[in-house]
């Protein structure tokens, strides 16, 4: 009898396991499997939505890039260098395709361009380095003669800024001297005639003078100037082909002629503010209002 009692006795440790086993009916197992399947399906749905959002965002970014790089670009005017043609804070519609795929840069066009060495950080996250855009008018095209005399710049003999005449500030280069700097690196010195006398200056000092020169634009070179001729940093900030450019990332840097790859697009119209909507016209005979 004792043996029978022992065989029929259930210990406390055995009871929960047995009750759990009894509770796992086929219906319970089915419901549990269905719940797990629904949870899995839910995660798949979330991942699918995330993937669709990512794909949509990537496609949108690519589309914007293609439009801006090859078709159309909105630009904001900053500064007064194109006044009175364009005013600061105005928004311009700029066509890009006709510069990328066609040879349509013509004398008198208003263009968006870059300068040598001039860059800035992107306006959103300030991590991407971008070339700085400038809006100017094309005043010299391949084959034109650009010259400077007594601080006045000429295109084919026609003065761009006659009121800047200053013979005492102007210098003629008499000789370019190959030399070395204080560290033994190759450098240049210039023997110049200025103010009725002669002197020798270093390649850094020469940028303090307005050097007289004459230069014929090459087959891929353009001379660009702001319509506000007496308040514009542009191709005139240059001392001619004999003086090495002083490239800096600020308004003191030399510009000189720009090449076709530095031209971003044509400014076609102003669309903001709405009260000032108008086209931006080509003008081959533009003259600063102060010189009329």
Q: pLDDT tens for residues 221-251?
A: 999 999 999 999 999 999 999 999 999 999 8
pLDDT value at position 184?
82
Q: How confident is the model at residue 49 (pLDDT cuts 50, 70, 90)?
A: confident
Mean per-residue pLDDT over the chain, rounded: 85
The answer, yes or no, to whether residue 60 has pLDDT greater than 90, is: no
Least confident range from 126-130, 240-244, 254-258: namely 126-130
Phi, psi of 72 (to 5 degrees): -150, 145
**Rounded to an integer, what distance in angstroms lies between the CA atom of residue 207 and that of residue 242?**
12
Q: Which of 161, 147, 164, 145 is nearest to 240 (CA)?
A: 147
Q: Average pLDDT for residues 154-165, to the nearest whole number?
A: 97
Whole-number percent of the chain with pLDDT over 90: 62
CA atoms within 13 A on the CB side of 253: 13
SS (H, E, C) 74-87: EEECCCCCCCCCCC
Least confident range from 120-124, 146-150, 170-174: namely 120-124
The answer, yes or no, to whether residue 202 has pLDDT greater than 80, is: yes
pLDDT value at position 71?
54
pLDDT value at position 30?
54
Verdict on whether the full-model pTM lies above 0.85: no
Q: How confident is the model at residue 89 (pLDDT cuts 50, 70, 90)?
A: very high
Q: How confident is the model at residue 123 (pLDDT cuts 50, 70, 90)?
A: confident
For residues 62, 65, 71, 76, the Cα torsion angle rounded to the nearest 10 degrees is: 150
CA atoms within 13 A on the CB side of 109: 22
55 or 115, which is more confident: 115
């Amino acid at each position: 009898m004792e043996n029978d009692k022992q065989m029929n006795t259930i210990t406390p440790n055995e009871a929960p396991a047995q009750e759990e086993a009894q509770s796992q009916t086929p219906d319970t197992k089915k419901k549990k499997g269905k719940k797990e399947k629904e949870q899995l399906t839910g995660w798949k749905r979330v991942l699918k939505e995330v993937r669709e959002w990512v794909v949509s965002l990537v496609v949108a970014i690519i589309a914007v890039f293609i439009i801006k790089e090859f078709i159309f670009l909105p630009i904001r005017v900053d500064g007064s260098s194109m006044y009175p043609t364009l005013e600061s804070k105005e928004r311009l519609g700029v066509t890009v395709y006709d510069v990328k795929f066609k040879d349509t840069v013509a004398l008198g066009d208003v263009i968006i361009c870059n300068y040598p060495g001039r860059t800035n950080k992107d306006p959103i996250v300030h991590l991407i380095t971008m070339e700085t855009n400038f809006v100017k008018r094309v005043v010299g095209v391949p084959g034109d003669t650009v010259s400077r005399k007594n601080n006045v710049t000429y295109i084919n003999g026609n003065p761009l800024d006659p009121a800047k005449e200053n013979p005492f500030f102007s210098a003629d280069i008499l000789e370019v001297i190959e030399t070395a700097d204080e560290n033994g690196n190759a450098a240049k010195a210039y023997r110049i005639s200025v103010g009725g006398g002669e002197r020798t200056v270093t390649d850094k000092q020469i940028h303090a003078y307005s050097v007289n020169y004459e230069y014929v634009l090459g087959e891929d070179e353009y001379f660009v100037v702001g319509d506000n001729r007496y308040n514009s940093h542009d191709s005139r900030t240059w001392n001619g082909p004999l003086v090495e450019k002083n490239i800096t990332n600020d308004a003191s840097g030399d510009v000189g002629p720009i090449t076709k790859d530095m031209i971003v697009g044509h400014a076609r119209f102003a669309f903001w503010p709405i009260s000032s909507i108008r086209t931006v016209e080509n003008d081959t005979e533009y003259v600063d209002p102060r010189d009329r």
